[in-house]
């Protein structure tokens, strides 16, 4: 296992020597599948970045975001709505990815987030599939998200709820599953749980009992007349793989679930993945994360600082204590069909937890390992989202006995 990056998420290298930076670059490229990035724009931007330097990453992607956003605004002003739609989608991606290595208390983080969200909403109001902004009431606040209709008539259809991980937002999940679901006549609900997207700004933080917010999401989803309650599915990626796995024993209204990849013990996974250089840092567990800023590779420290902010804590020891409580139990009580997915480029610890979860299931189940020959071996199949989409929806079609008419 490579212990010099925060998580092992891929064995392939695309552009950067810094493994974390290279993974996020692959993530940006993946948005091309649904029009969220362009190859030439991405590689030009990468050429302006100093390998491993977070500030140069921010500067390069911000400049590209502003350039592309300006093109979108000009297209819209001239009445070219399709072009505006396409260009605002790319501007969203570049704004969002500019924020990856920004520390959580840097005021630029909220500013970037607001710009990214504005571009996404501009894009999805120009042409179909439109994304209806939603807010789900939760503990006196709101879980933000979007609902995408799989048909124009708002008639009942299978519905997939998608939950991201620690570094995603509801807007970004559009590129993972949104248009792919619409093409297959599925309704799609994209949502941020506490700790994701904008929610930490609103005082909502990661929690271990994810069955509680997921219940609120299911409650809301089932109020919509176009949702077929007997064909309601749940999909979680990355940290969302823990969130959905944890919720399944409690939430019997879910009729099928996909996890990429299942996580059953957050603490064990984190401890297996924290780089040795951080573990050897004096006072690592008791000090605040600002002490990590001087490391030669600052990116793992920034990621941990962001995680603590999203969890509503200030020290690593507090975050790890919270992680100790993040376990999936009562797996044998899960009754709906479950598809477990994992890439062979992920860490040994992640692979072991996915298999342990799968082996404990007593319900109808399937296990898919994506290999390098698939071009999909990275974390959450980020290097081949098209194949991931096919596997997910083909499996759901078979579970639900669904064949969309008039595709």
204: Cβ contacts below 8 Å, ≥ 6 apart = 138, 139, 141, 143, 194, 195
pLDDT the model gives residue 209 = 97
In tens digits, the chain (407 residues) has pLDDT values of 344 444 555 567 889 999 889 999 999 999 999 999 999 999 999 999 999 999 999 999 999 999 999 999 999 999 999 999 999 999 999 999 999 999 998 999 999 999 999 999 999 998 876 899 999 999 999 999 999 999 877 789 999 999 999 999 999 999 999 999 999 999 999 999 999 999 999 999 999 999 999 999 999 999 999 999 999 999 999 999 999 999 999 999 999 999 999 999 999 988 887 655 455 555 555 554 555 555 567 887 888 889 999 999 988 889 889 999 999 999 999 999 999 999 999 989 999 999 999 999 999 999 999 999 999 999 999 999 999 999 999 999 999 999 876 55
pLDDT the model gives residue 8 = 53
pLDDT the model gives residue 298 = 81
Q: How far apart, in Å, are the Cα atoms of 72 and each of 84, 86, 88, 164, 278?
A: 5, 8, 6, 27, 42
Gap between the Cα atoms of 276 and 274, Å rounded: 6
- Look up residue 373 and give its two tokens: 């020959």
Are 68 and 40 contacting, i.e. CB atoms less than 8 angstroms apart?
no
- Look up residue 253 and give its two tokens: 């209204």
pLDDT the model gives residue 153 = 73
Length of the chain (residues): 407
pLDDT the model gives residue 316 = 82
pLDDT the model gives residue 407 = 52
Gap between the Cα atoms of 29 and 71, Å rounded: 20
253: closest CA among 233, 237, 236? 233
């Amino acid at each position: 296992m490579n212990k010099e990056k925060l998580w092992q998420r891929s064995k392939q290298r695309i552009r950067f020597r810094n493994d974390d930076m290279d993974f996020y670059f692959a993530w940006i490229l993946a948005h091309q599948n649904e029009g969220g990035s362009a190859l030439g724009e991405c590689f030009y931007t990468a050429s302006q970045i100093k390998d491993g330097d977070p500030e140069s990453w921010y500067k390069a992607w911000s400049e590209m975001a502003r350039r592309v956003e300006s093109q979108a605004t000009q297209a819209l002003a001239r009445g070219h709505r399709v072009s505006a739609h396409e260009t605002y989608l790319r501007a969203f991606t570049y704004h969002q990815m500019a924020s990856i290595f920004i520390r959580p208390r840097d005021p630029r983080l909220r500013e970037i987030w607001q710009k990214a969200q504005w571009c996404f909403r501009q894009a999805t109001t120009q042409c179909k599939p439109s994304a209806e902004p939603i807010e789900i009431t939760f503990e006196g606040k709101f879980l933000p998200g979007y609902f995408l209709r799989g048909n124009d008539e708002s008639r009942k259809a299978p519905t997939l709820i998608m939950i991201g991980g620690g570094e995603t937002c509801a807007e970004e999940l559009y590129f993972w599953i949104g248009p792919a679901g619409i093409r297959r006549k599925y309704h799609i609900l994209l949502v941020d749980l506490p700790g994701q997207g904008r929610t930490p700004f609103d005082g909502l933080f990661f929690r271990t009992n994810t069955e509680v917010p997921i219940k609120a999401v299911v409650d809301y989803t089932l109020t919509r007349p176009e949702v077929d309650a007997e064909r309601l599915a749940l999909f979680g990626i990355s940290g969302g793989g823990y969130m959905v796995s944890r919720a399944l024993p409690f939430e019997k209204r879910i009729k099928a679930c996909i996890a990429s990849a299942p996580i059953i013990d957050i603490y064990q996974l984190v401890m297996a993945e924290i780089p040795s250089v951080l573990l050897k840092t004096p006072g690592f567990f008791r000090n605040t994360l600002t002490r990590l800023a001087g490391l030669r590779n600052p990116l793992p420290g920034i990621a941990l600082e962001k995680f603590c902010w999203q969890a509503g804590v200030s020290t690593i020891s507090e975050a790890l204590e919270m992680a100790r409580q993040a376990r999936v139990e009562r797996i044998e009580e899960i009754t709906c069909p479950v598809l477990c997915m994992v890439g062979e480029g992920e860490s040994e610890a992640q692979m072991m937890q996915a298999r342990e979860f799968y082996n404990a299931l007593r319900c109808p189940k399937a296990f898919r390992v994506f290999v390098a020959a698939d071009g999909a071996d990275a974390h959450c199949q980020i290097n081949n989202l098209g194949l991931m989409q096919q596997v997910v929806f083909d499996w759901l079609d078979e579970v639900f006995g669904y064949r969309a008419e008039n595709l």
